[in-house]
Every structure is written in structure tokens, then in C-alpha cells.
Structure 1
């Protein structure tokens, strides 16, 4: 009789537990991982439609569509032959306690980064990026931020736990260098007169070529330690309807992926994809976009950290 263990080539939706079907390891510090995947099921900081806490599970489920490829197009190498990836599952915290969540994220992420491993995090609402940045700062010092979003998230009027205030607080805490950071896809109101970040708004991003956008990014950021955060609502709702605050006029998934692929020679130290809310999704296309963006980030991380040389 054939058993599960006898067949390694699973059908598309069988045994989809870890991201990209990579091993689940709830003690990743003891592993030989180069990159740890972490789910952050949190949406208590959401100001619009809630549901982002279900994002990590939806992204993992959608990632089975990507796991069967030996080489992810258009890359010329098999990612898992060059880096070890483990999925640490979802962060566990006291339900309903935003302070406990924030403390646990920073502690967990600090331990991972201090061990020399990289972290790819899936939210959750965008507030999760603030404790992640705090953890990465302890290891890498002040960082540049590459921020894909429809909103600047630099608003000062929000509460202590608010998914629209992270990049108001982070520069004030000295964690990120706003003058050498770039926000892409912005198409909502912000205070342009007092805005320290460099902005390539959605209209500009849609009109410029990928090469022009990447040239601006690299000229601004240089070789500074770089944290990449991708709010899925950077994409137009046609490509990512499953999110809490969709805004028309965003980027295509193709353009966003091309921009990320062009970052392979930058000093990437951390990365996340946030705001996938599967309750509002259609045919899992938002979850698939989130899973694909994460996979592209892993490829560029492998290149930027010398794990592979991509021509």
C-alpha cells in the first residue's frame, strides 16, 4: 500500500502547511535556516475593514501555487538549493492585547535577527512593521525604508496602536532615515510641505518606466541597510481586492514584481508583506499576490546576501 511518506510530489492543495511547503519549525533559532518566515495574525490597529489577521494563513495556502516550480520565472536558479527557509508559524500572543503583541513581535524578531538569520514576515495589518523595524534596528542601526503603499502611514493623529502611524513614529525613534527612504504608490492625502520621505506616487509610478523608478530608489538609498515593506493595497484593487483600505489607481502586480526584482544588488536586511484580508478577496488573487511578492523578496535577498550570483 502506498503511504503519504512514499510520495513527495503532493497534489496542488495537499499538506499546504508551511509557506512554499517549507518545513514548519517552531524553534527556528535552533535550525540551520538562512531565512525564517513568520506570520503575524493581528488586525487590531486597523482603521478600515478588519480581517488582516487571516492574511498569513491565506498567503501560505496560496503559496502552494508557487511551490511546484523548481525555478521561479524569470530567475535562473532554484531558490531552495541556495538558501534554507523554515516557517516558524504564527506568532502567539494574548488575544486582544496589542501591547503584548507588540512586545512579543519585537522580542521574537530580535532573537531571529541577532542569530544571523533573516526574517520575512506576513501580516496582519501594517502596524506590525513598527515592532519589526525596532527589532532590526538593534542589529543594523538606522535603516532606509522602501515602502510600497497607497498611504504614507505618517499620520500623527492616530492612537498608539494604529496602522497609519508607523512611519510617523519610526523616524522620530531614529529607526529609519526618512530622507533616504522611498514610498511608492501613494495616492491618498498627506502633508507634502512637511513630508521627509521621498515619494513616487501612484500616478508617477504608473507613467515612469521600471528602470526610472529603480534608478530613483538606488540614488536615494544607496548601500544603506534596507528594510522593504509592501502593503498589498499598493496594488490596484483589480489586482488585490482583498485588503482593508483599497484605493483605485494603484500599480499592477507585474510592475511591482519588476521593481522588486531590480533590487537584487541592494543591502536588504528585512522584509514584510502586509494587509492581505482574505474575507474581501476574489479567487484568492490577493493572497496569491502576497505570496508571490514574498517569493520575489526571497530571491532578491538571496542575491543581495551573496547566496547566489544571478546574471
Structure 2
């Protein structure tokens, strides 16, 4: 076994590059949808590099090892440089060819074409588990219809997610009351960061399970859900976020959810410190994959 620092710089060091693997990791180095600090185009590279910290064995919370899955890393998707709508079309086309996709972003605008592809593949609107500091249901982002703050406004209006099966965890940013009222009026459950702290991980997880039910769902995780003291490397940090311990405790209770894909977005290495934000992002994806290994009965 190689030492972690000399492990192949793919996600978890995997050598498989087949897009037909059971679980496929892809990067999307796209960040022109950001409204403050750009830099998440470097997120996929940083997440892959630090993911080598996670190759030493199984997840001790469930004793299942993501590396035992049929897992591939196909590299980064093609994008159209400087063109949001063409990039979204390209992202959707590439995602449509993959069964179960784990995406390393990139800013949160990439979630929209990923959800378009996933909903078409699975024949209808999906449940959505959304970790974030922001609701991302603004009608536009400073005049840009497809910025990173508008992805779920469009996803709801396009009918690719079911707002009655959608839950947002960690919300705490400044927010217009009209945007909040529109979001909850559509049926979305919002758990603020303060509520999540007060409820505790077990009760947050129960709320997620109740909301998603038995239908197919998608996980989207904006790293700014985590407090900037533990994840400073992001474009739109907000104080008072979840801790990495809380995130881990919530995620590891979500094995019953029928997830069909996930993304980890908004990791911006230029603002990171000692790779801690990238490590948080890599670990979220690793925890998700350990849940998939658990569901398949793949041990350590």
C-alpha cells in the first residue's frame, strides 16, 4: 500500500476511468456563476488531491469502505469558457451518459443541469436534500438568470425537483422576505443553521428522512453550509454555520434515503487554509459513498 502522499491524484486514488462504473466521480471547474469571490473552478483539483487522506480504510461509523465500490473518476467535464448557458447544456449532456454521478464543483449553478439530467434519467421530479447557507431560490443573480443563487428557483419552476420533498439545511444568509416566502410557499422545508444546532443531528436527519420519503432524491452540498471557521475556502462565507462534526453526524443517518446522485460545490482553494475546506468537501463525498457501500452490503 502506497503512503497517502504518493497515491494517484484522482478521487480516492482510483485508477478506473470508465463512465459505466456503478459510481462515477466527475469534476466541473465552472465558477462564472458566482456573485462574490470566484475560485471554485479549482475545487475539483483540490478535493481530489486531499481525498488521499481518506484512503486508509473503511468508515468507522458504519465499517463500509467506498474504495470497494465499482468506482471511477472520469476527470473533468467539458465547459464552454465564459458562456453559462452553453456550459449548462454541455454539463447536462455529459451527465446524462452517467448512471450514478458524484460531482465535484464548481459553483452551485452546476446543480441545475445535473438535476435536469438526473430527473430525465429517473422519470420525474426528484426529492432534494440541500445543505447551504443560502436558499439559492432567487429569480436571478444580479440580472444573470443562471447564477449560483438561482439554481433551485429554476429547478422548482421546471418541475425537476419536487418542493414537497425538498429540504434545506443550514440557511442563514441575508435574504429578502419575498424570496423566503416564495420558497416556503412552494412547499420547501427550511431548517436554519440555528434550528439545526438546537435540534441536533439526529432530529435533523429525521426531518430529512420524513421529507424525502421513499422516492428518489438528490443530495446537493454547498460547502458554505459549514461555518467559515472550519471551511473558509468558499466564495460567499456566512458566520454561524454547521460544524463538520454535525454534518458528519447528519449524513451518516441518511442511509435510508434513495439517493441517485450528489454534488459538492463552492470549494474555492484560493481562500482555503491548510486544505481544510477541500478536506471537508472530499469527506462529504466519501461519507456519501460509504452510505452507498452500506446499502450494497460492501464491507471493509
With the shorter chain as reference, the TM-score category is over 0.9
Asked whether 1:274 is paired with 2:242, we answer no
In structure 2, distance between residues paired with 1:15 and 1:77:
20
Shift in Å, 1:123 = 0.2
Shift in Å, 1:309 = 7.0
Counterpart pick for 1:65 among 53, 56, 72: 53
Helix, strand or coil for the counterpart of 1:13?
helix
In structure 1, distance between residues paired with 2:262 and 2:181:
29
For 2:138, the equivalent position in structure 1 comes to 155
TM-score if structure 1 supplies the norm length?
A: 0.90
Gaps of 5+ in 1: 1-8
Matches within 5 A, 1:42-57: 42-57=30-45
| Residue range with higher mean Cα deviation, 283-292 or 184-193 | 184-193
In structure 1, distance between residues paired with 2:74 and 2:233:
24
- Tell me, yes or no, if the aligned pair for 1:171 and 1:178 is still in contact at 8 Å: yes
Counterpart pick for 2:127 among 144, 150, 155: 144
Matches within 5 A, 1:162-177: 162-177=147-162
Shift in Å, 1:15 = 4.3
Asked whether 1:199 is paired with 2:199, we answer no
Matches within 5 A, 1:56-135: 56-67=44-55, 69-81=56-68, 83-113=69-99, 118-135=100-117
In structure 1, distance between residues paired with 2:105 and 2:265:
4
Select the structure that is richer in strand.
2
Q: Point out 4+ residue stretches in structure 1 off by more than 3 angstroms.
A: none
For 1:294, the equivalent position in structure 2 comes to 285
For 1:4, the equivalent position in structure 2 comes to none
Shift in Å, 1:214 = 1.3
Gaps of 5+ in 2: none
Structure number with the bigger relative contact order (C-alpha 8 A, sep ≥ 6) is 2
